[in-house]
Structure 1
Amino acid sequence: MLRIHFTGLDLARVRIAARPDALWESVLSFHRLRDKQGASIFRQWRGETRTRLSGETRPLASLVPCRGYFPDFLTPPEGALGVEPAFEALRETPDHRLQRDMRLLGGERPRPGWMHGLAEGDKGALGRLIGILRSYHKAAIAPYWPHIRARIEGDRAARGRALLDGGADELLASLPRMVRWRPPVLEADYPVDRDLYLSGRGLLLQPSFFCRRTPVTYHDRDLTPVLVYPVEHTAESAPSAAPVRAYADDPCSLGKLVGHTRSAVLQTIGQGCTTSELARRVGVSAASASQHASVLREAGLVLTLRHGNAVLHTLTPLGAALLRGGAAAVPDLPGLPAGPVAQTAQTAQTAQTAQTATSGTGR
């Protein structure tokens, strides 16, 4: 069990990450690629990703084992800005951090020769690692980024709503069932017994698409505290490389969107709301509000997730782009292939001041 100890100052400094981290999701997805957890959700993603992967990504298995520790330096905070800024930060990792993290990794298992170069601060070895990570990200993450980001932003909306309704207490109590708020301690299912004292530093809550089973946090207690936890997955959560339906191929779907009421529904959902709130604000019945939200969800404009006893509707990146006047005005995210899917992604904003967590187990 992991026990995170809060003070009053820590409660005032709880934050919710605004977006997924490119390298964080890359590392956690590598776990999902090799295990069977959430098989129904990740089956298609695994098949498509394995088809695109080349053999050069195999060395990642030595650096990111299925279980246990993997290096903290793999997820610099610049990952919130996109994959290329993250790689630049990774390239500047201090030698002492490389040596410390690789020593911890090497203490658990044998490692291939090229990883010895990392432990010695060899920039050539670090460059090779960045090349491997770039290839993996291109195959496993970039095609699915709008879908991943939509799930993270939906979870953020739910947590933000809890914060507004009941403060930090309600926010911490709203986290997934493997995390339990027992003031002043946040307990979480964890593969090892561990205590983390925040000591006034606060806590960054980072929802993750590829995190499963238990939350994760840094091995190094001196790093800015972060708790990474799984987002809720439903039957609609399966990552798709083409999450936006082509309206040219389905004119009926586009036709469903036409009309004053549905436009009002979309604008209302832009603020995040439950079905009952949507009905009240738009002036329709609850059944009608639910039907409108369902059509918008099928069109790829709305994301729906459960929040307590209610359901919460939020916009997907495409829905937000539509309200802004069209997806074409939105720049591509670094590392994302150009095209309609990429154009729905917003440019990542300022990186979080805290680094994201790294290991899936045994931290």
Structure 2
Amino acid sequence: MLRIHFTAEDLGRVRVLPEPDPMWETVFSIFRLQERGPSLVFHEWRRAVALACSPEDLAMLRALVPGGYFPDFLTPSEGQFGLDAGIEALLSTPRSRFRAELGILAGRHRLPSWTRQLADGDRETVQRLADAIRGHFRSAVEPYWQQAQAHIDADRARRARAYLDGGTEGLLSSYLPMMRWSSPVLSVDVQQEQDVHLNGRGLVLVPSFISMSTPDFLHDSALPQVLVYPVEHSVPVSAAAPAPRISLAPLIGDTRTAVLESIGEGSSTTELARRVGVSAASISQHTAVLRSAGLIRTGRVGKAVLHTLTPLGDALLKRGLATVA
């Protein structure tokens, strides 16, 4: 159990990132490739990435991400600003931090000899690690970025409504069952016991597309605090070629097209009825059809029933040429 303790100041300093962190996604991709057993969502992804990635890059990263603990220097907070910023932060890691975090890893796993050079901050070895991260990101993460962003947009719509309805405490409460908010503590089921006191630093919530089934966090509680959580997947992950643009109305009808276009970042049944110009009962019928087709997701946020686009619905809407007049 991870228990994150908030102060009143911390509640005003909670953020949800608008996109995945490429450094975290790259690390999670290593875990996914080592995952045993069937995975309906990631089966096609694992097969494609195993063929596309560099064996040398993968071997280097697997040595540092063998399962369980991995060094925090692989996921610097600067990664939230993009891959280049994350890699620049990695290249600037102090030697003392390389040594300390690799020491923790060596206490749990047998490490290859080249990690001694990394622990000494050898620039050539550090650069080789940075190149491996960049190369693996391009093979395992970048081709799926559009899918990842669509899933995270859907998740953010739900979180935004929860925040509007209940403030930061409403946002934190929306993460059930993966996290449990009981003021002033956010409890997260993880594989070890840890208490983190934010003490005014705030918390960055990082949505992840490739993450495993539970949230992840930094081992060193003195670092800027992030909590990385998995978003829901509505379809299997695959690197599909862009589909041709289509007209939606002949496929799903004018009213359902209008409903999709009106959902935006998330809308209630009453809001949709007002925007589309039909009764709430009619909206309920149309949303039931769209939901059964996998184009929208309906969930309760507080007392409201909220409709949001799924990644499939968002992609279909973006490909549609015709809009309802």
Moved over 4 A (4+): 251-255, 261-264, 291-295, 315-323
Aligned to 2:323: none
Question: Cα–Cα, structure 1 residues 36 and 17, in superposed 2: closer, same or farther, change >3 Å?
Answer: same
Deviation at 1:132, TM superposition (A): 1.5
Aligned to 1:119: 119
The Cα RMSD (Å) is 3.0
1:290 aligns with 2:287: yes
The one-letter code of the counterpart of 1:286 is I
Aligned to 2:23: 23
> Following the alignment from structure 2 to structure 1, what is the Cα–Cα distance between the partners of residues 87 and 249?
40
Q: Give SS of 2:287's match.
A: helix
Question: Cα–Cα, structure 1 residues 253 and 264, in superposed 2: closer, same or farther, change >3 Å?
Answer: closer
Aligned to 1:86: 86
| Residue of structure 2 aligned with 1:304, choices 282, 297, 309 | 297
Question: Cα–Cα, structure 1 residues 42 and 169, in superposed 2: closer, same or farther, change >3 Å?
Answer: same
| Residue of structure 1 aligned with 2:235, choices 229, 234, 237 | 237
Query: Is the Cα contact below 8 Å between 1:274 and 1:312 reproduced in 2?
Result: yes
Unaligned runs of 5+ in 1: 324-363
Aligned to 2:59: 58
Aligned to 1:70: 70
Aligned to 1:313: 308
Matches within 5 A, 1:202-241: 202-233=202-233, 236-241=234-239
**Deviates further, 143-152 or 100-109:** 100-109
Deviation at 1:42, TM superposition (A): 0.9
Aligned to 1:132: 132
| Residue of structure 1 aligned with 2:275, choices 275, 281, 286 | 281
Q: Give SS of 2:41's match.
A: helix
> Following the alignment from structure 1 to structure 2, what is the Cα–Cα distance between the partners of residues 158 and 115?
43
> Following the alignment from structure 2 to structure 1, what is the Cα–Cα distance between the partners of residues 248 and 18?
31
Q: Give SS of 1:113's match.
A: coil
> Following the alignment from structure 1 to structure 2, what is the Cα–Cα distance between the partners of residues 255 and 5?
53
Query: Is the Cα contact below 8 Å between 1:270 and 1:320 reproduced in 2?
Result: no
Unaligned runs of 5+ in 2: 321-325
Deviation at 1:213, TM superposition (A): 3.1
Query: Is the Cα contact below 8 Å between 2:244 and 2:319 reproduced in 1?
Result: no
Aligned to 1:269: 263
Question: Cα–Cα, structure 1 residues 291 and 27, in superposed 2: closer, same or farther, change >3 Å?
Answer: same
Aligned to 2:109: 109
Count of residue pairs brought into register by the alignment = 314
> Following the alignment from structure 1 to structure 2, what is the Cα–Cα distance between the partners of residues 167 and 315?
24
| Residue of structure 1 aligned with 2:251, choices 256, 259, 264 | 256
Aligned to 1:176: 176
> Following the alignment from structure 1 to structure 2, what is the Cα–Cα distance between the partners of residues 277 and 36?
45
Query: Is the Cα contact below 8 Å between 1:265 and 1:278 reproduced in 2?
Result: yes
Deviation at 1:141, TM superposition (A): 0.6
Q: If the length of structure 1 is used for normalisation, what is the TM-score?
A: 0.77
Identity in percent: 41
> Following the alignment from structure 2 to structure 1, what is the Cα–Cα distance between the partners of residues 137 and 143?
9
> Following the alignment from structure 2 to structure 1, what is the Cα–Cα distance between the partners of residues 105 and 135?
23
> Following the alignment from structure 1 to structure 2, what is the Cα–Cα distance between the partners of residues 37 and 268?
41
